[in-house]
Structure 1
């Protein structure tokens, strides 16, 4: 049985029209009709019946549909595995990572670990910090890199480098506003873009500046862009804004000494008994003294 017949069958079942199936597959319609006929002859039963301009699955076609999907998925999975093996990959390391970590320190660790273990293929799954523990427990990822501490009987959570939080404002803010009170009179605080520290910061701000306005913006990259557009200010970990500050796309705004700012952390999460590859990656991450070398 030709797998092209199976692919054509699946597309025709979705489209319920041989002409549209031919267009999706970049084939002539007679070719689609011929491949379906050959598959039916091979199986010894009809898979479609015509209803006007539509073609719909027969009872046999509906029963074969799930098997056809499994057959094609198995082939594609096997081909993908064979290609990776031919390229020199012998092991795969799944990493569940928050967007903040994925765009800051993870590339450094991937380069270092990849250089030491060229036979390892990485499977990077970017997700919110709150979902990382579940991914590790379900063994979808061997290692998690989160911005939120977790506790679980079957997992280990290691705090990594400290990441000082700073008040970030649009360029030129230090010249335009004499102090924090003046800044907050004109610009809202873009909040809730980190899973750990926002409740405490907002409480402290409202005690000192009762009229402060806040706007919930849950993604760091959106927060940074909005600050650059002059739409607000925010308290962000230094690692997330270092490059923009160096390029003068953002400005660090001073805060009063009696308004202490928190220190964020990145956390390494893995199973209580990790497999060898995960343990090696965890050792590299925990021993990297340069990952947190962030200068405000």
Structure 2
């Protein structure tokens, strides 16, 4: 039995699902099932009950789970202590964030980090909000970068980025020559909106407050796809200002300020409160905070 198997058992036990554990562990479901079977054969007891359409931990499994958690925590602390013996940060930092954050917010942080600490590996995993929080809580990643607010009391939350949403249109659109426009102005046209997430929730709240009936032409789960479809004149959308800087410079998209609302995207670095931070991890936090977006300074 090895630590990889223990981590797999912990994921299945906490998620009550082989398929979700497989996704969390970046494995196939058959591989997860094989690991669990091997563990049960080794310990000579059934650890998980797969009957009834869901996965539950057996009495033996609950007893075993306590030792698994203690063993994994002890391993993490030993490895962290050994890394701390070196004055120069090294090892690896694993960060989870969504597509837009990976492409438009984090590159500057990672560039500065690698410049100062070239011996530290950086592993980036793209995911969505709920799965990022799960990955942080299950120690599958060191940090997550997610939209605020974050209500999970198990997590430390460090704000690192704030910016306004703008309206994006293709060149030649009736709104494209304007410096600003009302929410109601944008609502007159077919809209491309995020399928899920905090930005979609914020927009829905604004539409409801203004009693606007909007024509949602498409719902998309990719910011880059939304940008391409707006550029193809399939509708207009709302997007964080930093996400279209290069597109506006290239003349592919136009940016119009929202005149009657401040719809903000706020991002934070999150990690477990009980996590023992390595030098490499603490250095990452320091750089992310140092490079906070100017909007934070203006808001003080």
What TM-score results when the alignment is normalised by the length of structure 1? Answer: 0.60
Please list the CA deviations of residues 178-201 of structure 1 after superposition, one character each: whole Å capped at 9, or x if unmatched: 87667644x311112562132342
Equivalent runs, 1:29-178 vs 2, <5 Å: 90-174=90-174
Q: Which runs of 5+ in 2 are unaligned?
A: 1-37, 39-88
Q: Which residue matches 1:196?
A: 198
Q: Which residue matches 1:264?
A: 265
Q: Which residue matches 2:252?
A: 249
In the superposition, relative to structure 1, how do residues 175 and 109 fare at CA in structure 2: closer, same or farther (>3 Å)? closer
Please list the CA deviations of residues 21-55 of structure 1 after superposition, one character each: whole Å capped at 9, or x if unmatched: xxxxxxxxxxxxxxxxxxxxxxxxxxxxxxxxxxx
Asked which structure has the greater RCO (Cα within 8 Å, sep 6+), the reply is 2
Cα pair 1:157 1:270 within 8 Å, conserved? yes
How many residues align structurally? 203
In the superposition, relative to structure 1, how do residues 208 and 146 fare at CA in structure 2: closer, same or farther (>3 Å)? closer
Equivalent runs, 1:173-188 vs 2, <5 Å: 173-174=173-174, 184-185=187-188, 187-188=189-190
SS at match of 1:197: helix
Q: Which residue matches 1:221?
A: 224
Cα pair 1:98 1:147 within 8 Å, conserved? no
Q: Which residue matches 1:47?
A: none
Give the C-alpha shift of residue 131 in structure 1: 1.2
Cα RMSD after superposing both structures: 2.9
What TM-score results when the alignment is normalised by the length of structure 2? Answer: 0.60
Please list the CA deviations of residues 132-156 of structure 1 after superposition, one character each: whole Å capped at 9, or x if unmatched: 1111111111111123432323311
Cα pair 2:159 2:269 within 8 Å, conserved? yes
Q: Distance in 1 between matches of 2:130 and 2:269?
A: 13
Q: Which runs of 5+ in 1 are unaligned?
A: 1-65, 67-88
Q: Distance in 2 between matches of 1:208 and 1:128?
A: 29
Moved more, 223-232 or 273-282: 273-282
Give the C-alpha shift of residue 237 in structure 1: 0.7
In the superposition, relative to structure 1, how do residues 115 and 253 fare at CA in structure 2: closer, same or farther (>3 Å)? closer
Please list the CA deviations of residues 42-96 of structure 1 after superposition, one character each: whole Å capped at 9, or x if unmatched: xxxxxxxxxxxxxxxxxxxxxxxx9xxxxxxxxxxxxxxxxxxxxxx95111111
